[in-house]
Amino acid sequence: MKTKAVRLYGKEDLRLEEFELPQIKDDEILAKVVSDSICMSSYKAAKQGSDHKRIPDNVSTNPVMIGHEFSGEIVEVGKKWKDKFSAGQKFSIQPAIYYEDGPLGVLSAPGYTYPYVGGDATYVIIPEDVLVQDCLLEYSGPGFYPASLAEPLSCVIGAMHANYHTKPGSYVHQMEIVDGGKMAILAGVGPMGLAAINYVINRKDRKPSLLVVTDIAQDRLDRAAEIFPVEWAKENGIDLIYLNTGNVDNPVEELRKNSGGTGYNDVFVFAPVAPVIEQADAILSFDGCLNFFAGPSNPDFTAKLNFYNVHYAATHITGTSGGNNDDMVEALSCLSKGLDPAGLITHIGGLNAVIETTLNLPAIPGGKKLIYTHKDLPLTAIADFDEAGKSNPLFAELARIVAKTKGLWNLEAEEYLLKNAPEI
């Protein structure tokens, strides 16, 4: 079977190519990709080429497919996996497979390391490395875009589970956020911050009583408040506050005042900015946990930490980079039960838009860029559907559909696009 895919050959060398996939082996699965969400990690991989820890050294002669936040349908199942998978099943993939015998050992990952599996393709071959780690996961929920966003949601879930707390006199770490505690998400209205807000408010087993979300861009805070209203959070048992720290003289003082003077049990930092990290450290409560969620690209990145509080107030720090398989399973379960991640999506496009989008991702405003890999569409902001619709009836109809959900992407819009958008 032929596939069309965006492949990486080296630093900033991405190519959209059509080529023949080999016949699958007994321990492999052939799958159709439907949607892929472009991640900043793909931008970093494209910029670094073989210098990236997950990209093989011989990528110039053995290119790899990019994209790791994808979903689709199984087409053909190798003999070894017929008792577990079948044609027609919808799927998502946990890309952090930790497979020691993979091309790069534990660093191997779909979307970085393999020649025939990645999200920015029409058809892929899912290798044994993924399957033996139980990282091909069935998705039973509606549509495809929720499953494409399961991987970023799993990163948020993993971060919440990775926080920990202690009791005086005990050396046992009690994993998880404090149930009924106070939480702050700093620089928290980007795509991943929105995913965190959505998960925290929807969560059933534990949640904070207070959630303060900060940023310095009022338009982004306003959009977050429109998607996740304060009233909705209150109905779910959480006092939600959106705070523009760029509009106050002393953000730390304001944040501590919002906590009732106690500080916060759990603080998450969603931007690799030293002053934001130092702000987070300054608002921790006794036994407060700071989770540095944002991944810096500079290996020498540092920030100050108050070690007086580390010693006397038991404050501590952790960090996570991605979620594990259990987090991915939880994410898919949440999505199947109705958690809609559409608030993360600000742009849609076809496979033809992947290269330019990936290489320029930091300069493109908004949230997640969702790619429908069998389609030929320019990357288009949902907010621009009305304007695009003046010359293209497809976007005119999409504008009408998303107007029903306050400008959010939705299942009806996806179904219409899949039926009516031009094929690649």
**Interval 78-101: pLDDT, tens:** 999 999 999 999 999 988 776 677
DSSP string, 3-67: EEEEEEEETTEEEEEEEEPPPPPTT-EEEEEEEEEE-HHHHHHHHHGGGSTTS-TTTTTS-EE--
Q: Is residue 388 part of a domain?
A: no
Tell whether 199 and 89 lie within a shared domain: no
Give the pLDDT score at 197: 96
284-292/316-319 β-pairing: parallel
Q: Is residue 392 part of a domain?
A: no
Q: Which residues partner with 317 through β-bridges?
A: 290
DSSP string, 370-404: EEETTB----EEGGGHHHHTTT-HHHHHHHHHHGG
* Chain segment 270-320, per-residue pLDDT in tens: 999 999 999 999 999 999 999 999 888 788 999 999 999 999 999 999 998
Tell whether 168 and 315 lie within a shared domain: yes
Q: Is residue 381 part of a domain?
A: no
Q: Is residue 56 part of a domain?
A: yes
Tell whether 139 and 13 lie within a shared domain: yes
Task: Identify which of 107, 172, 115 has the alpha carbon closest to the alpha carbon of residue 321.
Answer: 107
* Chain segment 352-403, per-residue pLDDT in tens: 999 999 999 999 988 899 999 999 999 999 999 999 999 999 999 999 999 9
Q: Is residue 360 part of a domain?
A: no
Tell whether 185 and 309 lie within a shared domain: yes
For residue 90, give the CATH number of its domain.
3.90.180.10
Tell whether 245 and 169 lie within a shared domain: yes
CA 237 to chain centroid: 25
Cα–Cα distance measured from residue 145 to residue 340, given in angstroms and rounded to the nearest whole number:
9
Q: Is residue 411 part of a domain?
A: no
Tell whether 195 and 290 lie within a shared domain: yes
* Chain segment 109-165, per-residue pLDDT in tens: 899 999 999 999 999 999 999 999 899 999 999 999 999 999 889 999 999 999 999
Q: Is residue 26 part of a domain?
A: yes
Tell whether 172 and 117 lie within a shared domain: no
Tell whether 303 and 165 lie within a shared domain: yes
Q: In what side-by-side order are the strands of the sheet with 13-20?
A: 13-20, 2-10, 64-65
The two three-digit tokens of residue 340, written as one number: 């809609």
According to DSSP, residue 375 is labeled: B
- The domain total for the chain is 2
Top mean-pLDDT range of 41-45, 208-212, 342-346: 208-212
* Chain segment 219-249, per-residue pLDDT in tens: 999 989 998 999 999 999 999 999 999 999 9
Tell whether 71 and 111 lie within a shared domain: yes
For residue 189, give the CATH number of its domain.
3.40.50.720
Tell whether 344 and 255 lie within a shared domain: no
- Which of 332, 353, 374 is the C-terminal boundary of a domain? 353
State the residue range of the domain holding 277: 155-319
Residue 105 confidence class, pLDDT cut points 50, 70, 90? low
Residue 71 confidence class, pLDDT cut points 50, 70, 90? very high
Give the pLDDT score at 373: 98
Residue that is written with structure tokens 């048992």 in the block: 237
Task: Identify which of 399, 327, 259 has the alpha carbon closest to the alpha carbon of residue 413.
Answer: 399
Rounded to two decimals, the pTM is 0.85
Give the pLDDT score at 152: 85
* Chain segment 12-67, per-residue pLDDT in tens: 999 999 999 999 999 999 999 999 999 988 999 999 999 998 999 999 999 999 99
Q: Is residue 242 part of a domain?
A: yes
Q: What are phi and psi of 185, to 5 degrees?
A: -120, 110
Residue 344 confidence class, pLDDT cut points 50, 70, 90? confident
